């Protein structure tokens, strides 16, 4: 069932789909891979079995599956990779949770909708595709420039990074910082994920218990954190920042500045890298921890009985479904 080609309404949260090419695509491959790998290490045994059951084409790998939403290049999905801060003072923005009265055609509603589909979707195919969107968008909302309207999320602002001119500022945060850090630490991709998890052991802030119980995920809180980081660090840390007063602009001035400006040609792999890399890595770890929390909570709800999957073996479960010996309805608790 290819539900992604139609509007999806679940639990009163509307996420209408529009064929619009947005300026921002997903977090860089390294960012998504790392968040998925970190989450994998924090799954319960029940969630691990459940994930392997829903992602057989990836052998249950969240790191690999997290790249899917960028690889399929669906034009209508582009605008669900980001959210622009509310009008007004975006630096202290508190994003409201999407609701029937205030829907959001953006990453916030997408995360809530795909969480619900992953949990109670009517078919295995629905849930398998939903979890791939979900884990990708959890990564995206933790990348600060996916929650910034300035310079179209930094995509129109060109900078110099590690000797390369003409790189967009968005690319620096998508993959440039993390790839350079991995190289300087002489880590493999896997050992870099281990390093991040051990270096940043603190747990991220939790969300409102009611929202967590209803949706398992709290994208509004996560977006609020990213927006604050944009104004407190991402732009202010730039060398010779031409608009150091950006955080103090009023709404009209912000609107006039929406296309951004060409930044000076200082190489951001130096002092800027040193100023922001800790926060960039911390966002990756927070995304991975929260991803694991969401998946563990869904698996524990018995929507897909992870213990039963573990007992029979993922391969045997899939084989039984394919051969018609077990109805998918018996594996998925219908809500």
Q: Going from the N-terminus, what domains does the chain have, and what CATH number goes with each?
A: 3-331 (1.10.575.10)
The beta strand positions in the chain, using DSSP E, are 8-10, 13-15, 158-161, 164-168
DSSP string of 171-199, one letter each residue: HIIIIIHHHHHHHHTT--HHHHHHHHHHH
DSSP element (H, E) containing 295: helix 271-300
Question: Which residues are CB-neighbours of 81 under 8 A, at least 6 positions away?
Answer: 22, 24, 25, 26, 69, 107, 137, 140, 146
| pTM of the predicted protein model | 0.77
Mean pLDDT across the stretch 166-180?
Answer: 94
| 63-80 exposure pattern, b = at least 16 Cβ within 10 A, e = fewer | bbbbbbbbeeeeeebbbb
Q: What is the pLDDT of residues 69-102, one digit of tens each?
A: 888 877 777 777 878 776 545 565 566 666 655 6
Give which of 160, 95, 145, 133 is closest to 10, Cα–Cα.
Answer: 133
Cross-strand partners of 158: 168
**Residue 317 corresponds to which tokens in the numbers above?**
């479960």
User: Is it the case that residue 178 has pLDDT exceeding 90?
Assistant: yes
pLDDT at 310: 47
For 171-197, letters b (16+ CB in 10 Å) and e give bbbbbbbbbbbbeeeeeeeeebbeebb
């Amino acid at each position: 069932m290819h539900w992604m080609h139609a509007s999806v309404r679940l639990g009163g949260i509307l996420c209408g789909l529009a064929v619009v090419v947005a300026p921002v695509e997903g977090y860089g491959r390294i960012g998504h891979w790392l968040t998925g790998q970190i989450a994998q290490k924090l799954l319960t045994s029940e969630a691990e079995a459940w994930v392997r059951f829903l992602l057989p084409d990836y052998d249950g790998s969240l790191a690999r599956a997290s790249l899917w939403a960028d690889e399929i290049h669906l034009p209508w999905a582009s605008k669900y990779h980001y959210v622009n801060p509310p009008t007004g003072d975006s630096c202290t923005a508190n994003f409201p949770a999407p609701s029937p009265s205030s829907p959001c055609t953006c990453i916030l509603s997408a995360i809530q909708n795909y969480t619900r589909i992953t949990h109670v979707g009517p078919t295995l195919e629905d849930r398998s595709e939903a979890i791939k969107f979900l884990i990708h968008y959890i990564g995206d909302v933790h990348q600060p420039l996916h929650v910034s309207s300035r310079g179209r999320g930094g995509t129109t602002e060109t900078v110099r990074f590690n000797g390369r001119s003409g790189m967009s500022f968005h690319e620096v945060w998508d993959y440039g910082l993390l790839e350079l850090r991995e190289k300087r630490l002489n880590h493999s991709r896997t050992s870099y994920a281990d390093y991040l998890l051990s270096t940043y052991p603190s747990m991220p802030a939790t969300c409102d218990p009611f929202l967590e119980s209803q949706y398992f995920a709290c994208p509004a809180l996560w977006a609020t954190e990213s927006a604050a980081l944009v104004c407190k660090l991402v732009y202010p840390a730039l060398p010779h920042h031409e608009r150091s007063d950006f955080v103090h602009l009023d709404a009209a001035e912000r609107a006039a500045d929406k296309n951004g400006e060409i930044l000076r040609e200082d190489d951001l792999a130096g002092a800027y890298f040193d100023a922001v890399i800790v926060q960039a890595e911390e966002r990756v770890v927070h995304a991975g921890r929260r991803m694991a929390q969401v998946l563990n909570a869904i698996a524990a709800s018995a929507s897909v009985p992870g213990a039963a999957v573990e007992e029979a073996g993922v391969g045997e479960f899939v084989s039984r479904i394919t051969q018609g010996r077990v109805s998918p309805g018996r594996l998925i608790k219908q809500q």
